[in-house]
Structure 1
Amino acid sequence: MANRFSDLLQQTSKLRGPLPSAAIDRLQDFTNFGANPGALAARTYLPANLPPSAPLVVVLHGCTQTAIDYDHGSGWSRVADLGGFALLFPEQRRKNNPNLCFNWFVPGDIRRDAGEAASIRQMIAAMIERHLIDRERIFVTGLSAGGAMAAAMLATYPEVFAGGSIIAGLPYACAANVPQALKRMRGQGVPDAKQLADQLRQASGHQGRWPRVTVWHGMTDATVDPSNAEATLAQWRSVHGLGERPDRIETNAGISRWAWQAADGRDVLVSYTVAGMGHGTPLKISGVDSCGVAGPFMLDVGISSTCQDARSWELLDPAIAVDTGSLRENAGWSLAEGAGKPTPWRIDHLPPPRPANAAGSQIGGVIENALRKAGLMR
């Protein structure tokens, strides 16, 4: 069934519009990083001002995307120029997945020291050795299938990462094959919080401090149901020993930020939900703390996950405001110091519970449903 599903996606990929063709390749090939059991490719970005013991951010693209596409849309290499940190872009190959999805639903690819997860770990180890990366400041982020793989990396190698960001993704080990993956994406059959927490703990046998995690999701995401964000938060609340209610709730122009804090006051689990946002990476493409280029699955919704994550991981000087101005495909970027401040968040009450998803049963046709959930039809 998995092969027939992949063949179908490959044959019908023309239904989806192409990604921007003007994306500039700012990345370099990265090879000879290990045995590479997952047979992945890799790209890197090293700013000219990279200092000794620099941080590293691992960036995982979504389905149908390449590392170039995702860097161009998200703006990570531009922010790395400002912050002076290194980037690693693991990249899927079509021979592994015709739709260029990381195989987050294949047990052998999300297990410690096996498959794609092991390949990414080997890339990180090679980056540390070749570029003297600070082992205490390694982070991972990803969109959709890349978000689910980011969750897998945080689960299988928690000792490696200081933090991570899961964008429109799914909980670790919530599916073990294609049919389960499609159901989970629709919000159906997701394991309960205890089962998810058990999967997370068993992934590595970790006994130390867990990485801090940020979860981003659009509330009108029709590809990966928002209930997956709720399940991901529950999975990580358990290992962090956190209660269901967040310690701080803030809202700003349809964006809600929930934060759970450790005993020392650090935010260890954060949720951003964006009203009216579909499936993709949230962008802000003009004004203060803006970066990226809007396109398929790169959505201008007034907040940049790239900028916000970089700030929460302390990769940017607080005095520096990223400001793209009127960025276009080949336009330059500008750096403004103290150029302005984001609209302040306000403390608000808990929003009403989100109604249970019933969309899955309303979509007719197995083929149409598979294509829609894979992002090939709208």
Structure 2
Amino acid sequence: MASRTGPRRLHRLISAAVGALALAAGLLTATAPTASAAALTQVTGFGSNPGNLAMYAYAPTGLASGRPLVVALHGCSQSASDYHGHAGWAQYADQWGFAVVYPQTSSANNALSCFRWFNPAQSTRGNGEALSVKQMVDKALALYGSDPGRVYVTGLSAGGGMAADLLADYPDVFAGGAVDSGIPAQCATSSTAASGCQYNDQGLTPRQWGDKVRGSYPGWSGPWPRVAIWQGTADTTVKPVNGTELRDQWTDVWGIGQTASATLSLNGGTTLSEYDDAAGRPAVELYSIAGMAHGLAVDPGSGTGQCGATGTYYLDTICSTYRTGLFWGLDGSAPGGGTTGLPAPSGLGVTGATDTTASLSWSAVAGAASYAVYRGSARVGSATGTAYTDTGLAAGSAYAYTVAAVDSTGAEGARSAAVTATTTGFRPTCHTDNNYNQVAAGRAHQSGGYAYANGSNQSMGLWNLYTTHTLEETSAGYFVIADSGCPA
């Protein structure tokens, strides 16, 4: 980080493929390892799925509830596993603690397997692919207990165009987004107009661009998502003007003007322009990467801020995933990053726990008048000192905590890195399955062809696949039949 100063097959095929953002057409040739702590898995049954998409997800082993959720959309001719293996999101999901959902489209939807960002039947609120992604978010929130206030969306190329649409369609769902070599929200409303968005200046004012966002969810007045824009200066597939148009669109939505609050020179020939909100934190960021062609910026290596693997449309310049994660506050810092306000408290740790409480302590921050304590995204208390005990918790449960320093005016600084506290005691659980599987899972045992609940020894009927019961584990290893309703 150096200085800080003031203020793109044939055209016919593209059209036949619905304007398809040639956007990453072509097969990936590189193979990259993914994180070993967990595996990319397909999730089914997430809703009516009007966009005919597939849902894949990655969640680190032992992920606590109350953590963020990232939605990552691949480019044309790519797949969920391609993106998972190259973009670096799994690395930071493990490091910072969050789940990732990878929507996947197919050639059944579009000849080049592009998300249909240019088709209003697919890209608008409550319709098609946009609604399928929203249903995936709802499914993931239930599966992982993710924080609904910290859901983010990012995408490459056609995925970037769809990410921009989703931010406009669902500002009530997404707290932030990133558009990598992509298109402004609702730029095109037909396949014939798609290539025009890719290659040409649309000649719209910032206000006209902003109106496309405001018109996507009429009546919504904020808060608006924070948006990071990534664009290569040598991109001939999605011309660099798209980065400028995205900047104009989202700064207008925020009402903060198009003059950068600050510029920074980063590695990989990257210039970052920041556009601050009223509180002095970046609401919009524009990353312009000198000489980079069409693709996602990655930076393989083991150094701080390095990530990803190179391949077709994964270009070795700078780790966009790392910078985007910091911007969203996935590392535990305040959303928007920024350098104003009090620093994040260090040394946050768990000093004790009971069945219903969790005790925390942290290091003092100079200039702090008090400290705000967060459980997940909810502020649960404050402290004038450097310790706090949270109460009223459930036994045997994990809770994620962060702390922020508060100055004498009541302004909060950046949040600390998160820690997880687990309460003691046993938490009752419910398990519904057939008798055969209940025995196989160790919740019951069989004798003479009949199944019996472990602990209570209650008879469950024949030991087979056709008899189903709900068992409640009321204490460790003690199960009772709870078919009429499981209190846990």
Whether the TM-score (by the shorter chain) exceeds 0.5 is yes
Aligned to 1:19: 29
The one of 49, 72, 92 equivalent to 1:36 is: 49
Aligned to 1:210: 224
2:274 is aligned with 1:264:
no
User: In the alignment, residue 300 of structure 1 is paired with which amino acid?
Assistant: D
| Contact 1:106–1:176 (CA under 8 A) maintained in structure 2 | yes
Q: Deviations over 1:172-229 (max 9, x none)?
A: 1111222211111112435443322111101012122101111000011010001011
CA distance in structure 1 between the partners assigned to 2:53 and 2:12 by the alignment: 20
CA distance in structure 2 between the partners assigned to 1:139 and 1:4 by the alignment: 29
Aligned to 2:382: none
CA distance in structure 2 between the partners assigned to 1:29 and 1:225 by the alignment: 34
Aligned to 2:124: 111
| Contact 1:73–1:298 (CA under 8 A) maintained in structure 2 | yes
2:193 is aligned with 1:180:
yes
| Contact 1:174–1:191 (CA under 8 A) maintained in structure 2 | no
Q: How is 1:149-228 mapped onto 2 (pairs within 5 angstroms)?
A: 149-189=162-202, 191-205=204-218, 206-228=220-242
2:77 is aligned with 1:64:
yes
| Contact 2:87–2:307 (CA under 8 A) maintained in structure 1 | yes
| Contact 2:18–2:191 (CA under 8 A) maintained in structure 1 | no
Deviation at 1:75, TM superposition (A): 1.3
Aligned to 1:292: 308
Deviation at 1:260, TM superposition (A): 0.8
CA distance in structure 2 between the partners assigned to 1:4 and 1:145 by the alignment: 12
Structure 2 gaps, min length 5: 1-10, 334-343, 345-488
CA distance in structure 2 between the partners assigned to 1:17 and 1:39 by the alignment: 22
The one of 312, 328, 334 equivalent to 1:313 is: 328
Q: Deviations over 1:287-324 (max 9, x none)?
A: 321111001100001x10111111222222679xxxxx
Aligned to 1:360: none
Structure 1 gaps, min length 5: 320-378
Aligned to 1:239: 253
The one of 74, 77, 83 equivalent to 2:87 is: 74
Aligned to 1:255: 270
| Contact 1:144–1:168 (CA under 8 A) maintained in structure 2 | yes
Rg: which structure is higher? 2
Deviation at 1:102, TM superposition (A): 0.3
User: In the alignment, residue 29 of structure 2 is paired with which amino acid?
Assistant: L
CA distance in structure 1 between the partners assigned to 2:17 and 2:139 by the alignment: 34
**CA, structure 1 residues 176+73, in 2 after alignment: closer, same or farther (shift >3 Å)?**
same
**CA, structure 1 residues 261+7, in 2 after alignment: closer, same or farther (shift >3 Å)?**
closer
Partner-residue secondary structure (3-state), 1:90: strand
Partner-residue secondary structure (3-state), 1:270: strand
**CA, structure 1 residues 107+89, in 2 after alignment: closer, same or farther (shift >3 Å)?**
same
User: In the alignment, residue 120 of structure 1 is paired with which amino acid?
Assistant: V
CA distance in structure 2 between the partners assigned to 1:251 and 1:219 by the alignment: 15
Deviation at 1:3, TM superposition (A): 7.8
The one of 269, 272, 279 equivalent to 2:294 is: 279
CA distance in structure 2 between the partners assigned to 1:9 and 1:178 by the alignment: 5
Between structures 1 and 2, the one with greater helix share: 1
Partner-residue secondary structure (3-state), 2:102: strand
- TM-score of the pair, normalised by structure 2: 0.61
Deviation at 1:136, TM superposition (A): 0.9
Once the two structures are overlaid, the 10-residue window that deviates more, 19-28 or 260-269, is 19-28
2:104 is aligned with 1:91:
yes
Partner-residue secondary structure (3-state), 2:213: helix
CA distance in structure 2 between the partners assigned to 1:242 and 1:28 by the alignment: 41
User: In the alignment, residue 95 of structure 2 is paired with which amino acid?
Assistant: L
CA distance in structure 1 between the partners assigned to 2:80 and 2:226 by the alignment: 24
CA distance in structure 2 between the partners assigned to 1:276 and 1:265 by the alignment: 31
Deviation at 1:8, TM superposition (A): 11
**CA, structure 1 residues 50+138, in 2 after alignment: closer, same or farther (shift >3 Å)?**
same
Taking only the aligned residue pairs, the percentage that are identical comes to 37
| Contact 1:46–1:85 (CA under 8 A) maintained in structure 2 | yes
| Contact 1:184–1:190 (CA under 8 A) maintained in structure 2 | no
CA distance in structure 2 between the partners assigned to 1:50 and 1:317 by the alignment: 15
Q: RCO (CA 8 Å, sep 6+): is it higher in 1 or 2?
A: 1
Deviation at 1:19, TM superposition (A): 2.9
**CA, structure 1 residues 9+256, in 2 after alignment: closer, same or farther (shift >3 Å)?**
closer
Q: Deviations over 1:325-371 (max 9, x none)?
A: xxxxxxxxxxxxxxxxxxxxxxxxxxxxxxxxxxxxxxxxxxxxxxx
CA distance in structure 1 between the partners assigned to 2:15 and 2:101 by the alignment: 30
| Contact 2:105–2:114 (CA under 8 A) maintained in structure 1 | yes
**CA, structure 1 residues 190+84, in 2 after alignment: closer, same or farther (shift >3 Å)?**
same
Deviation at 1:132, TM superposition (A): 1.2
Aligned to 2:337: none
User: In the alignment, residue 209 of structure 1 is paired with which amino acid?
Assistant: P
Q: How is 1:137-148 mapped onto 2 (pairs within 5 angstroms)?
A: 137-148=150-161
Aligned to 2:341: none
CA distance in structure 1 between the partners assigned to 2:213 and 2:246 by the alignment: 10
User: In the alignment, residue 157 of structure 2 is paired with which amino acid?
Assistant: S
Partner-residue secondary structure (3-state), 1:127: helix
**CA, structure 1 residues 221+4, in 2 after alignment: closer, same or farther (shift >3 Å)?**
closer
CA distance in structure 2 between the partners assigned to 1:17 and 1:62 by the alignment: 11
The one of 149, 156, 168 equivalent to 1:136 is: 149
2:68 is aligned with 1:52:
no
| Contact 1:187–1:224 (CA under 8 A) maintained in structure 2 | no
Deviation at 1:78, TM superposition (A): 1.8
Between structures 1 and 2, the one with greater strand share: 2
Partner-residue secondary structure (3-state), 1:99: coil
Partner-residue secondary structure (3-state), 1:170: coil
